[in-house]
Amino acid sequence: MATYCPFYQATANKNMIEYKPEKCECCGQTKTYILGIDEGTIDIVRRIATFIGEKGINCVHPRKEMEGYGLSSNQVGNLSRPRFHGLIAKIKGDVGNYCLTKKGQAFLSGESIPKYAIVSKAEKRQVGYYEAENEQCTMSDYGQEYWDGVNYDIVEGFVHTEPPKARKSETLKLI
């Protein structure tokens, strides 16, 4: 028999999201759903960022290059979660390859991003954010402090570890 706990009830109601999904006019089925960032999503992005930093190119085929060597099969199957939040992206014309986005880099460096993505079931893509101004999150919201694993910059798909100012002056000298 379940017991009533006022503390649990107050906490559960406080954390509930009041999202109203779009519904099909014909059958009433929902056309969109809400997807929040969780610790598993953060872990996937961190592992991809680490691999890209070691590889030196912002391009990774998770199934071929990382499965069993940094990502589990379940994590590879959940790549859509960070993709729907814009933390990683598919590389157009390169089937199965992903890249770390600037937004993904910023999030791993401690910047806040919208916590809930709205995903279209029919289009299988993110179509917006739920209360993007009010519902923000950072890595510290999940018990993870600033992570210095992204101690590089990505320029034209290549990983650069030296400071951007030094690179800029070097580029100017070559011209």
- Beta strands (DSSP E) in 91-146 are 98-100, 113-114, 116-120, 125-129, 136-137
Other CB atoms within a 10 A radius of the CB of residue 96 amount to 13
Domain coordinates in residue numbering, the chain? 22-174
Cβ(61)–Cβ(91) under 8 Å? Answer: no
Provide the residue type at 107 as one letter.
F
pLDDT, tens digit, 9 for 90 and up, residues 138-159: 888 877 665 666 777 778 777 7
- pTM metric for this prediction: 0.77
pLDDT > 70: percent of the chain: 79
* pLDDT, average across residues 149-175: 61
Conformational region of residue 97, where left means phi above 0, alpha means psi within -120 to 50, and beta covers everything else: beta
Could you give the dihedral angle defined by the CA atoms of residues 108, 98, 167 and 106, in that order, rounded to the nearest 10 degrees?
-20
